[in-house]
Chain A
Amino acid sequence: MAGFAAILRKDLRLELRAGESVLTLVALALLILVVMVFALNPAGGARDAGTAAGALWVALIFAGTMGATRSLAAERENGCLRALLLSPVDRATLFCAKLTAAFIFMAIAEAAAVFVLVLFFNLDFDARLLRLGPSLALGALGFAALVTLLAAIAGRLRAGDLLLPLLAVPMFVPALIAGVKGGELALAGSPLGAAAQWLKLLAAFDVLFLSAGYLLFEYAIGDD
């Protein structure tokens, strides 16, 4: 637990000093949303709930994969990762700490992206946005678990930055479907219960990738 807290504190402090990851994530998400507005030409308002939810998730997964590549690349510079692996912290704890940091950055980026989404897609700042919360939080958790595991692998390979989205996006499909559907229901003003099956699906995805990462991270991060 002490190891977990120490690594997480290190990551958060680095982020507070430099602000690289979150800024990159937010800037990318914003840029992709602008592109989506040009591409889809939304009419705006609740009629376009599906389009808005779709655009939001496209922005999040692409910004998220790029952010994840950065996060582990930073560890590799100056041999920081080697030091982490040598420290008396087991791999599963390292996974949890890295995943928590990724989740926090992702959540901040999501909040920023939702704010911009309301402006760009002519939505209202009302209770409907709060109903987006559960699906966005569960989606960010699953995504953080998935990319933390895969970035450890991709970071070791020559063209790893290209490989990461190739691996991560198809695996994220179930959560993407559930997130877009849940988001659409929320933005269209349906009660939270209507999205129950999508939230359950997201929760199942999270459980799967949290346990897979917990068990397999040791083989992915490696020490050879």
Chain B
Amino acid sequence: MNHKAATLTGLLTLALMLLALFMVFDWVPTEAEQGIVQRIFYFHVACAWVSFAAFGLVALCGIFYLWLGHEIFDELGYTAAEAGMVFCTLVLITGSIWAKPIWGTWWTWDSRLTTTLILWLLYGGYLMLRAMGGDSPQTARFAAVVGIVAAADVPVIIVSVRLWRTIHPAVLVTRQGGHGLEDPRMVATLLVSLAAFTALMVWLLMLRIALLRAGARLRGLAREVGLARAAVQDL
């Protein structure tokens, strides 16, 4: 992981993000029914895509870590879980901001909302495990197991929550994402937002892995300094 690659990704992210902001706030037409608030959709969906991709990455890294044992899979899994958690939080927040004017409530137990909340709780548990276990191969192995099991659980969660909702009549009728992207400019804006958030995610992962490694090196150096100091005192 060299610095040049990270810097380039950062610049790419900046360019895409500025372009996405311009498109969302200026270029794309306002949705007829919902008005201006619908523009949050472009960031809301992009955050959701990035966080779900990150959680998938956590599980894949877990499998590869247990299989091959390379440290990079552990680092990548850890950082993907952290970044996924940030974006999942953003999904819940932007969703609430959007829901208030449109559905008239901050939160409703709709199947998608419920599933996202449970995902958030699952990966919150994963990060608690990371925090409690500290930096050791044992924690890496445990986290890999939990990451795999959590991801395997997701399809069952989706099915169960959907069945649960069909039995409970909804207070509010949910639009199944059919926000009428009739205008091609809306599709283009969404695609640029998705690209911008994906680049942001990759950049964050690169920075975080570099930080993890720097932290490990620092701890190694501190240990060496401590040993050297002890040796000098012994003289």
Q: Does the CB pair B157–A173 fall under 8 Å? A: yes
In the bound complex, how far is the Cα of B143 from the Cα of A222, in angstroms? 13
* A209: nearest chain-B partner, CB-CB: B149
Of residues 161 through 215 on chain A, the ones whose CB sits less than 8 Å from some CB of chain B are 163, 166-167, 169-171, 173-175, 177-178, 181, 197-198, 201, 204-205, 208-209, 212
Q: Does the CB pair B145–A153 fall under 8 Å? A: yes
* A224: nearest chain-B partner, CB-CB: B138
Q: Does the CB pair B149–A149 fall under 8 Å? A: yes
Given contacts A166-B125, A181-B164, contact A153 B152 (CB under 8 A): no
User: Interface-forming stretch among B44-52, B127-135, B181-189, B201-209?
Assistant: B127-135
For residue B59, give the distance in angstroms from its CB to the closest CB of chain A.
Answer: 12
Q: Does the CB pair B163–A220 fall under 8 Å? A: no
Q: Does the CB pair B160–A170 fall under 8 Å? A: no
Bitwise, B130-160 to A at CB < 8 A (1) or not (0) is 0011000110011011101110110011011
**Given A163, A175, A201, A204, which contacts B129 in the complex, CB threshold below 8 Å?**
A163
**Given B121, B124, B128, B145, which contacts A216 in the complex, CB threshold below 8 Å?**
B145
Q: Does the CB pair B156–A174 fall under 8 Å? A: yes
For residue B88, give the distance in angstroms from its CB to the closest CB of chain A.
Answer: 13
Contacts of B113 in A (CB 8 A): none
Q: Is the interface of A mostly helix, strand, loop or mixed?
A: helix
Q: Does the CB pair B145–A157 fall under 8 Å? A: no
Using CB atoms and an 8 Å cutoff, list the residues of chain A in contact with chain B.
149-150, 153, 156-160, 163, 166-167, 169-171, 173-175, 177-178, 181, 197-198, 201, 204-205, 208-209, 212, 216, 219-220, 222, 224
| B6 lies within 8 A of chain A by Cβ | no
**Given A156, A173, A178, A220, which contacts B118 in the complex, CB threshold below 8 Å?**
A173
* B150: nearest chain-A partner, CB-CB: A171
Contacts of B144 in A (CB 8 A): 219
Contacts of B152 in A (CB 8 A): 208, 212
* B139: nearest chain-A partner, CB-CB: A157
**Given A157, A163, A177, A222, which contacts B164 in the complex, CB threshold below 8 Å?**
A177
In the bound complex, how far is the Cα of B164 from the Cα of A201, in angstroms? 11
**Given A150, A156, A158, A174, which contacts B157 in the complex, CB threshold below 8 Å?**
A174
**B interface bracket (residues with beta carbon within 8 Å of A):** 20 to 34
| B167 lies within 8 A of chain A by Cβ | yes
Q: Is the interface of B mostly helix, strand, loop or mixed?
A: helix
In the bound complex, how far is the Cα of B149 from the Cα of A212, in angstroms? 7
For residue A108, give the distance in angstroms from its CB to the closest CB of chain B.
Answer: 27
For residue B38, give the distance in angstroms from its CB to the closest CB of chain A.
Answer: 31
Q: Does the CB pair B160–A224 fall under 8 Å? A: no
* A165: nearest chain-B partner, CB-CB: B125
Q: Does the CB pair A178–B160 fall under 8 Å? A: yes
A-B residue pairs in contact (CB < 8 Å), sample of 14: A153-B142, A153-B146, A156-B133, A157-B132, A169-B121, A171-B149, A173-B160, A173-B161, A197-B163, A198-B163, A204-B159, A212-B149, A216-B66, A224-B138
Contacts of A171 in B (CB 8 A): 122, 149-150, 153
In the bound complex, how far is the Cα of B160 from the Cα of A222, in angstroms? 32
For residue B169, give the distance in angstroms from its CB to the closest CB of chain A.
Answer: 14
In the bound complex, how far is the Cα of B131 from the Cα of A160, in angstroms? 11
Contacts of A157 in B (CB 8 A): 129, 132-133, 142
For residue A117, give the distance in angstroms from its CB to the closest CB of chain B.
Answer: 22
Q: Does the CB pair A201–B159 fall under 8 Å? A: yes
In the bound complex, how far is the Cα of B145 from the Cα of A156, in angstroms? 14
